[in-house]
Amino acid sequence: NNKTVNFLNIKMILLQLWRHSYTASYHIYDLNTRSLVTENLLPNYTQYISWSPVGHKLAYVWNNNIYIKESPGVSSVQITTNGEENKIFNGIADWVYEEEMFGTHSALWWSPNASFLAYAEFNDTEVPVMEYSFYAEDTLQYPKTIKLPYPKAGAANPTVKLFVVNTQAPPTVNSSEIIAPATFVISRDHYLSAVTWVTDERICLQWLRRIQNFSVLVVCDFTRENGMWQCPEGKQHTEESKTGWIGTFQPSDPYFASDNISYYKILSNTEGFKHIHYINSTGSRIPITHGKWEVISIEAVTNDFIYYISNEFGGKPGGRNLYKVLVGNGPTTPKCVSCDLDKDRCQYYSASFSNDAQYYLLNCYGEILENNTDLDSMLMDIQMPSKKVDTITLNGYTLWYQMILPPHFDSSKKYPLLLDVYAGPCSQKADYAFRINWATYLASTEQIIVASFDGRGSGYQGDEIMHAVNRRLGTYEVEDQISAARKFSEMSFVDKNRIAIWGWSYGGYVTSMVLGSGSKVFKCGIAVAPVSRWQYYDSIYTERYMGLPVASDNLENYESSTVMAKAENFKDVEYLLIHGTADDNVHFQQAAQISKALVDAQVDFQAMWYTDKDHGIGGQAHSHIYTHMSHFIKQCFSLP
C-alpha cells in the first residue's frame, strides 16, 4: 500500500456485541509528533471507525449515526441525525445484515480518493424483537432482558436505503440517495447485497430480491451539474437462478477491468458450475474459465491477468490452488501458480494480494504440516493421526468424505467411528487442509475414527449437487449422512455397533434429524446449538433455501422438517443436547422445544446448558463443553 501512514488508532476498551460487531474507545497517535491527539477526541463506545484510503479523513459511527473528521484533531461533522438504538442503523449493519449478508459490522464505503462516502441506512422499526434473559453476576436479583430486532423466516425484514455523501465540502455535506431499481421498489422487500466503488465518481451496487433467486447489478455515475447519482438501465445486469439461489451464499462481487465499465464476476455457467465470466460494456457474458470444477474466488485483476482460487487441480473439490489466466486478447489456458510448489504437503492454499497486485502472500493450509527438524522433534512424543480423503458413490453421485485415522492405524482392527457433521447448503467438510482440533484428540488419544462426509447440498461441485436441497432442508442432506455412515459401517476396520454422530449449529440440526430418523445406524449423538424448526431461524439465511413459511409458498416443507416431530425415535439412541442460553443466533428456544418434545414423548436424554453463552460457547465454557462431550462419547463407546 503506497499510502503514507501518519496516524495510528489504538483500541482501548472493547465490548463485543454480536459475531463481528463491538464498541470501543479509541486513542489516536500522531506518528509525526510522536504524541496522542488530545483535541476533539472520539466518543467512548464508538461503534465503528474507518480511515479514508487517501489523506487523513476519518468516518465513525456513534449512537447509530455517522460522523466525519477532516483529520483526527479537528471537530467532526455529523452526517446523519436519525440513528436510534435497535431502530435506525446508519453506517453499521443491523443483526441480520451483519450475520447473513455483509459478514461484517461495517456498512460504509469510502470512494478510492475519499471524495465520497457511501453508507447504508437500515430501518428495523417493523422487525419483530427477540427477547431472552441474561443472568450476569450472581448478585443480580433480576436477570437482564436482551432485546434484539431479529427477523425470523417470513417475518417483517429491515428496509434498506443507500446514500452517498460528498465529503469535499464539509461542513455543508449533503447525502443523496441511490434508489433501488424499479423492480425492487414496488415491494420494498429487497436486500442490498454488495457495494463496490469503481472510480471516485462511479459506484456499483447489487440488489437482491427477498426470494434470493434474482438480483440486479447497477452502475451509477455522479452528475456534477446537480450533484445526483444516475443509474442508467443500460448499465444494469440481472442474474437469475432457475434451480435455487444466486451465488454460493449471495451474489459474487464484481472485479472491474481497467476501462471501469466492463467487469469479471463468478456466475453459474450453463452446466451449473461457478466460473469467471467477463461482462463487457454491452452486458454480454463471456466465459473465462470452464470445466466440471468451480472457481472459489477472484483474488486480483490486473491489466494482463486475473488471479483466482479454484478446486480444479486433480479433480479434488476439497483442494484450493491459485491460478492466473491471461486476459485481453481473448481467454487463454489458465496456469496454476501453486499446484507444483509442494504437491506432497500443500493442496489447500489461500492468497492475499497487495493493492496494486504486484505482490501476493500465499498461505498453505496443508494437508500436512511443514517439515522442519524443530517441529519434528517437538512432535516426536505426540502421536499424530493421519487423514484420508476419498469418495463413495450414492444415488449416482460421486461424493467425498474424509477420515481422521488413529496413529499406527491397523485396518485389521475394529475402531469406533464418530461422524462429524455440518451439512448446511454450500458447506464442505472433506478437504485437504490441516487442522488440530477435537477430532485430533479423539483419534490420537481415544483411538476413534472421526469421519466427515459431503452429501447433496454441499458446495463447490456444481449447482446440481448444491441445489438438490433447494426448498427442502432436512431431507437429502440428512439421508446422505445416514447412507454414508452405513457405507462406513461396512468397512472392515469400523465397528458397526459403535457409530456416533455430532454437530454444531446446522450440524446440530442434522445430527438431531439423523438420530430421529430411526435408522438404527447410530448408537448415540451430540447436538450443540441446533436449529429445530426453520421458522425459528433468521429470514435471510432460511428463506434463501426454503422460501416463505406460508401456504402459498413452502409451509408444508417447513412443517415436515422439524426435530420435534421425530421425538419418539429418540428412544432408540443416546442423545446429548447442548445450548447456550444467550445465543443471539440460534436461539435457546430451539433446544428448549426439542427438550419439551422429548419429555412429552417420555424419552430419556442428556442435556447441558451454558448460562449467558452465545453461539460459540467460548471462554471457560470452551474446555468444559469438549470435556463433557468427550465423557459422553467415551461412555457411548464403552471406552475406559
Which is the catalytic residue, given 52, 427, 505, 519? 505
Amino acid at 267: L
Which cell numbers hold the place of 591?
433446544
Which is the catalytic residue, given 56, 467, 579, 615? 615
Amino acid at 126: E
Helices and strands (H, E) in the chain, number of each type: 11, 37
Contact 598, 605 (CB under 8 A): yes
Catalytic, 505? Answer yes
Amino acid at 405: L
Catalytic, 27? Answer no
Angle at CA 43, nearest 5°, toward 41 and 45?
Answer: 145
- Number of other residues whose CB lies within 10 A of the CB of residue 489: 16
Answer whether the bond into residue 171 is a cis peptide, omega within 30°: yes
DSSP helix/strand/coil, 506: helix
Strands (E), 103-179: 108-110, 116-123, 129-134, 144-149, 159-166, 175-178
Question: What is the spatial distance between Cα 87 and Cα 91, in angstroms, rounded to a whole number?
Answer: 13
> Which are the contacts of 215, defined by CB distance < 8 A and separation ≥ 6?
193, 206, 207, 208, 209, 238, 239, 240, 246, 251
Residue where the block lists cell 447489487:
206
Q: How far, in whole angstroms, is CA 461 from its chain's centroid?
A: 18
Catalytic, 56? Answer no
* Residue 272 backbone phi and psi in degrees, to 5: 85, 20
Which is the catalytic residue, given 583, 584, 587, 595? 583
Pairing outcome for strands 524-528 and 574-580: parallel
Contact 534, 549 (CB under 8 A): yes
DSSP helix/strand/coil, 486: helix
Q: How far, in whole angstroms, is CA 559 from its chain's centroid?
A: 26
Question: What is the spatial distance between Cα 297 and Cα 316, in angstroms, rounded to a whole number?
Answer: 16
Contact 288, 279 (CB under 8 A): no
Biggest alpha carbon–alpha carbon distance for the chain: 80
Amino acid at 444: S
Residue where the block lists cell 430486532:
149
Residue where the block lists cell 443523496:
176
Contact 400, 387 (CB under 8 A): no
Question: What is the spatial distance between Cα 138 and Cα 141, in angstroms, rounded to a whole number?
Answer: 8
Active site residues: 505, 583, 615
